[in-house]
A and B are shown apart, each in its own frame.
Chain A
Amino acid sequence: MARKGIRFLRRGRVVEVADFAPRTTLLDWLRIDQRATGTKEGCAEGDCGACTVVLGREREGRLVYEPVNACIMLLGQMDGAELITVEDLAQAGALHPVQAALVARHGSQCGFCTPGIVMSLFALYQEGGRPVTRETVCDALAGNLCRCTGYRPIIDAALDVCAEPPADAFESRNEATLAALRRLDDGEDVFVGEGHAFFAAPANEETLAKLLSDHPEATLLAGATDVGLWVTKGLAPLRKFISLGRVKGLEEIHDSPEVLALGAMSTHARAMGPLAGIDPDLGELMRRFGSAQVRASGTVGGNIANGSPIGDLAPALITLGAILELRQGNDRRTLPIENFFLGYRKQDRRRGEFLRSVLIPKPGPNDHIRIFKVTKRFDEDISAVMMAMRLTIKDGRIVTARVAFGGMAAIPKRALAVEKALLESRIQEGTAWAAAGEALGQDFTPLDDHRASAAYRLQVGKNLIVKALAEIAGAPSDATRIIGHREAAHAAE
């Protein structure tokens, strides 16, 4: 028998909500229903971060605090989490260290983005006890826009307080919170609403498969970082949601020397470390993927199943030869990820089918990987051009080549002519680099839009091929990189 309401932790107590419309966002519930107006709405699509709240959840056996965008998270997704908002940080009239630092550093101007920034820095503070640099603070705040703009003093405030091990009320009740969250994790299916309009969160694959067979038209909900926008921006009259967030096993990550298996519901935040382990460029790509809020909600499976033409992960996974595993009822099948994308926003996913996991073969010792993302704004920007390359080189000769691009066509796609041009050429031969770059013109007729002109996309696509080949051939990356050095990233691994 399914549970008829959701339960989550707030201010040390269990909150039960049974009566809510399936589409209700967490932000609307907070602001309109609860009149908790400290959390702000600035865009309703996960761009500005004014609505940032922090969720406490058990990850790999410990309590982890992560920032999320309340504006595009559906209330139903809260089940089993601890919810913390800006009103909850000050204890007995004393500001939280993050709040005190922002006041002392003069980190707010109009103050409207401030609650979101407080919460993003609160999450960073909870991670504490590791080196905090300008770059890590910028990463933590990539999803918080300040229009006034106080980017400098905000960073100073973070540097003041986020490097120390956390010592606040949340840290001191860590054990109790973890125990309370475990008590909420009852393994029950959740079903709120009626057959014609509901928010369901099945607890295992069997009940998920059954529910999906009964309601094949229902919207499958992973992290809601895109579906949330269908509601808030597209005004889509969606009535039936099946959330995958509670399905046991779908979030699992298995990392072996041969293969990295990412359950479809692995969030980008959790997948980031294992992916960076495959190659530092993959780690760098994930660092610039969305924002901390989007990575904490968005999932690897959701990003692939959604089939965005500009999704950054797909080209990388195509070059790595990733395999998708899908399930429909009791039928399971696998297919190479590149065959999954059929056309613009069209994928090889059948009615009632769901993505279970992504299997990523580990590159061998002769494999060389380069991944580049080119944007106007440094963070939180859709790629103008995104390239991934994997070469297998034996005795100086390229024996296999896989090159894929995002943002160049209606789907993430391999550049077969480039691959052909590279095959059997010698990596040290500069003339081969230019020839490979030139072949890109046979692969793509890129589109012309406000993100970049067609001519730009093609030219920079070519340049990225040359840049990757130059690096693989041994050019030092401090000469070719915008920030950071690839060699340093390797050393740090």
Chain B
Amino acid sequence: MANAQGPETTGTVAPPLPTPRKTGGIGAATPRVDGRAKVTGAARYGSDFFGGPDPAYAFLATSAIARGRITEIDDSDARALPGVIDILTHRNVGDRVKPGKTFSDKGYMGTSIAPLASDRVWHDGQIVAVVVADSYEAARDAARRLRVSYADETPSASFDSPGTETVSAESKSKEGEKAGQEKPKVGDAPRAFEAAPVKIDQHYETPTQHHNPIELFTTTCAWDGDQLTVWESSQNVYGYQNGLAEQLGLEPSQIRVVSPFIGGAFGSRGSLTQRTALIALASKRIGRPVVLEATRQQGFTIATYRAETRHRIRLGADQSGKLTALIHEGWEVTSRKDEYKVAGTDASTRLYACPNIDSDVSIVHADRNTPGFMRSPPEVPYLFALESAMDELAYAAKIDPVELRRINDTDREPIKGLPYTSRSLMKCFDTAGQAFGWSRRSAQPGSMRDGDWMIGWGCASTMYPTQVGPAAARVTLRPDGAVRVQTAAHDIGTGAYTVIAQTAADRLGVPLDKVHVELGDTALPPAPVAGGSNTTASVCNVVAKACDEIRRKLAAAVTVSGGPLDGADPGRITLINASVMDDQGRMASLKDAVAKTGHGAVEAYAENIPHGAPPTAMQNLYKGQSALAGGAKLKDRIQFAFGAQFVEVRINARTREIRAPRIVGAYAGGTIVNPLTAKSQLMGGQIWGVSSALHEATEIDRRFARYYNDDLAEYLIPVNADITEVQTIFVPEEDHQVNELGIKGLGELGNVGLNAAVANAVFHATGVRIRKLPIRIESVLDAPVPT
């Protein structure tokens, strides 16, 4: 569905309000159904639950060293403070909480570093105590009064630090379908590279970044006998439930995890952190609900982050720009204990046609907290490297960067020759390029100028795998047309409540406002982790399936002899305008139809196992294992969403301040269930991309392996004034191979390519190639000022 829109930012008048194409159903531009709850403060997030009328409050104490052992914890001053109830340390926790297995080890945890299991300190800012008190203030004061002594060792902070350990990522892979995924290879790349007439051989680097959702990391726990309820913002409530059960030695059914609204996630709430079980234990010990609100600073070390990466890219091409060799080597930092990696060679080796490809990924163990998924985990660093190198190749071969991509476009991935289910990359380039005005670009770096401003235009491809997970849903239709949809999916701001409601409204033929959706609760049927951009595809398809089951039940009831649509073909019954209709246009009311079934309401429970997922996928889903299928993991085909991104940067000749006044992206993502929510996702992603390229980096004091800009004043993300024109265009695409509704994921597509697009634009503005993100004001200090 096309939704191309013109520029819409300049001037003082907002563009006209979007007109919904039709009310409520799939494809309608419906404002989000939870908008009202969000603007009135009624939407309740994890930290808005207190677990009961009289909770206690927890405050974390975190380590002041990155590596070593705790030799003593003197809590006498802390305990002397009025209101202090309990202090958890490794002395009284130990193995009462199991560490749990990490996500990449088929577990649920973001890290296997169990903070209060022993005296061992694995990273700076590790939890060393949990203070529980009657009031938040008392807990905070007591935490400050704890005196922790350490036997500290010199930590290894990052790349190049003494004491790090570098290992091949492949050797750490598990058996089965994933083995070797970090090392896609075809042909003889080193030899082809040697022989290539045009070559690029460069190193690239991306920084440490933190998700920094605006909602802090909080946990509220309350026990009712042996039943535990956890209120915590989560992208994976079933994963949390099963992980906590493992950690606390409980049955999953003894635990309920509730997360109706999530204040931003971006991957940070996908895996279970170690804090949750500790708060559950604290609550059990004192027999009261416990509320934890970790500080913004603590959030940098008690959860995950995007680790810094390095890359070496070698590209070889013939004189016409056709790739003959592509070699992508990656290095990623992880913690001392865990083997987390993103291994984006999986995607970067499949973007362009090339007969000779080689790749390798290594991980570097340092004394840091374990990294984890952050929006488009593999694609952001690996495509920054590849798409920067492609721009360098375009200059080396004297070919327009867009044309270079056209020359190397393909409808089959080059490693195994599998067909793309659909691929609209060049349509996206043409659409976005036209909207951007690319044809007016003068190719020479430093050739575009406006007063003191050096202007640069850059572009890059963006891609993200189309993944679908197993999912279950229960849908109930009442005679008055009221619909209730229940599934433990998550709305992390993406609009899941809205698109799920639209799907049900569409399939059951009722107005959108008759549909009530319940999400984010392990009391509901399971849905996959809200990650990998799968939710819309996974959940809308299974909700549609449940709705179809309801339609079948109604059709069977109304077409029986003596029924209101007696004699009609049950297979041709549709639900429309809150009625049941046959192919002759005869109508029966829902009320009569439901009555005819003999039930008070019609309910259907549906499960869906996507193409490529194992038959045990549903059982595993109930165990909190999402097992997303798709992307480059399928045996018979490959499925990705694509886009093209263009950006204008302006660099002040006197101050070298860098601004990005214009961002244009065009995307093909299959069926767009709601252009408004889809656009929000992509637009937000585009802003993320610019933020990542120009602002975001977590700074590390290498002496202490410690983050030092761990707040929102110093970890910069853009403000309103930094973002002027953002254009997001949909390129029509139909792909019913990926799933029945033809939905590709979009949430992680928007931020990938802009990292390179911005760097490419900076090169165009100044002639200075920046291969290390973020691009800082001093990065272009030495650029000559064109006259």
Q: Mark B1-28 against chain A: 1 for CB-CB distance below 8 A, else 0.
A: 0000000111111110100000000000
Task: Kindly state whether residue A132 has any CB partner on chain B within 8 Å.
Answer: yes
Q: Which residue of A lies closest to B780 (CB)?
A: A456
Q: Which residue of B lies closest to A103 (CB)?
A: B35
The answer on a CB contact under 8 Å between B714 and A450 is yes
The answer on a CB contact under 8 Å between B688 and A149 is yes
Q: Could you tell me which residues of chain B, from 429 to 463, have a CB within 8 Å of some CB in chain A?
A: 451-452
Q: Which residues of A contact B723 (CB under 8 A)?
A: 149, 151-152
Q: Which residues of B contact A157 (CB under 8 A)?
A: 14
The answer on a CB contact under 8 Å between A460 and B655 is yes
Q: In the docked arrangement, what's the CA distance between A113 and B295, Å?
A: 17
Which listed residue (A145, A376, A480) contacts B776, Cβ 8 A? Answer: A376
Q: How far is the CB of A255 from chain B (nearest CB, A)?
A: 29
Chain A contact residues: helix, strand, loop or mixed:
loop
Q: How far is the CB of A27 from chain B (nearest CB, A)?
A: 11
Q: Which residue of A lies closest to B722 (CB)?
A: A378
Task: Kindly state whether residue A173 has any CB partner on chain B within 8 Å.
Answer: no
Which listed residue (A106, A145, A160, A232) contacts B680, Cβ 8 A? Answer: A106
Which listed residue (B47, B492, B493, B694) contacts A41, Cβ 8 A? Answer: B47
Chain B contact residues: helix, strand, loop or mixed:
loop
Task: Kindly state whether residue A38 has any CB partner on chain B within 8 Å.
Answer: yes
**How many of chain B's residues touch chain A, expressed as a range?**
35 or more
Q: In the docked arrangement, what's the CA distance between A95 and B720, Å?
A: 24
Which listed residue (B687, B709, B711) contacts A149, Cβ 8 A? Answer: B687
Q: Which residue of A lies closest to B492 (CB)?
A: A110
Task: Kindly state whether residue A86 has any CB partner on chain B within 8 Å.
Answer: yes
The answer on a CB contact under 8 Å between A460 and B654 is yes
The answer on a CB contact under 8 Å between B695 and A377 is yes
Q: Could you tell me which residues of chain A, from 366 to 403, have a CB within 8 Å of some CB in chain B?
A: 372, 374-382, 384-385
Which listed residue (B683, B726, B777) contacts A376, Cβ 8 A? Answer: B777
Instruction: Tell whether A151 pairs with B38 under 8 Å between CB atoms, given A41-B216, A382-B713, A464-B655.
Output: no
Q: In the docked arrangement, what's the CA distance between A466 and B295, Å?
A: 44
Q: Could you tell me which residues of chain B, from 173 to 188, have a CB within 8 Å of some CB in chain A?
A: none
Q: In the docked arrangement, what's the CA distance between A118 and B43, Å?
A: 14
The answer on a CB contact under 8 Å between A376 and B17 is no
The answer on a CB contact under 8 Å between A159 and B720 is no
Instruction: Tell whether A456 pairs with B781 under 8 Å between CB atoms, given A86-B40, A112-B45.
Output: yes
Q: How far is the CB of A391 from chain B (nearest CB, A)?
A: 18
The answer on a CB contact under 8 Å between B776 and A111 is no
The answer on a CB contact under 8 Å between B718 and A112 is no
Task: Kindly state whether residue A353 has any CB partner on chain B within 8 Å.
Answer: no
Interface centre among A110, A134, A153, A460 (most CB of B within 10 A): A110
Q: Which residue of B lies closest to A449 (CB)?
A: B699
Task: Kindly state whether residue B214 has any CB partner on chain A within 8 Å.
Answer: yes
Q: Which residue of B lies closest to A380 (CB)?
A: B719
Q: In the docked arrangement, what's the CA distance between A460 and B695, Å?
A: 19
The answer on a CB contact under 8 Å between A47 and B713 is yes
Q: How far is the CB of A40 from chain B (nearest CB, A)?
A: 7
Q: Mark B37-66 against chain A: 1 for CB-CB distance below 8 A, else 0.
A: 111111111011010000001000000000
Interface centre among B261, B451, B716, B726 (most CB of A within 10 A): B716
| Segment at the B interface, from A8-16, A136-144, A327-335, A418-426 | A136-144
Q: In the docked arrangement, what's the CA distance between A481 and B650, Å?
A: 12
Q: How far is the CB of B225 from chain A (nearest CB, A)?
A: 25
The answer on a CB contact under 8 Å between A45 and B712 is yes
Q: Could you tell me which residues of chain A, from 29 to 50, have a CB within 8 Å of some CB in chain B?
A: 32, 35, 37-45, 47-48, 50
Q: How far is the CB of B749 from chain A (nearest CB, A)?
A: 15
8 A-B interface contacts by CB (under 8 A): A109-B684, A147-B213, A149-B684, A235-B141, A237-B144, A374-B655, A376-B657, A464-B654
4 interchain residue pairs of minimum CB distance: A38-B41, A110-B493, A112-B263, A111-B38
B residues engaging A (CB < 8 A)? 8-15, 17, 31-32, 34-45, 47-48, 50, 57, 135-137, 140-141, 143-144, 212-216, 261-266, 293, 295-297, 451-452, 492-495, 652, 654-657, 659, 676-677, 680-681, 683-684, 687-688, 691, 694-695, 697, 699, 708-709, 711-714, 716-724, 726, 776-778, 781
A48-B712, A87-B42 known; 16 other A-B pairs, CB under 8 Å? A32-B57, A43-B296, A108-B38, A109-B495, A111-B43, A112-B261, A115-B41, A150-B684, A376-B716, A377-B718, A382-B714, A385-B655, A450-B699, A478-B451, A479-B451, A480-B654
A residues engaging B (CB < 8 A)? 21, 23-24, 28, 32, 35, 37-45, 47-48, 50, 85-87, 89-90, 95, 99, 102-106, 108-115, 118, 131-135, 137-139, 141-142, 144-157, 159-160, 232-233, 235, 237, 372, 374-382, 384-385, 450, 452-453, 455-456, 459-460, 463-464, 466-467, 478-482
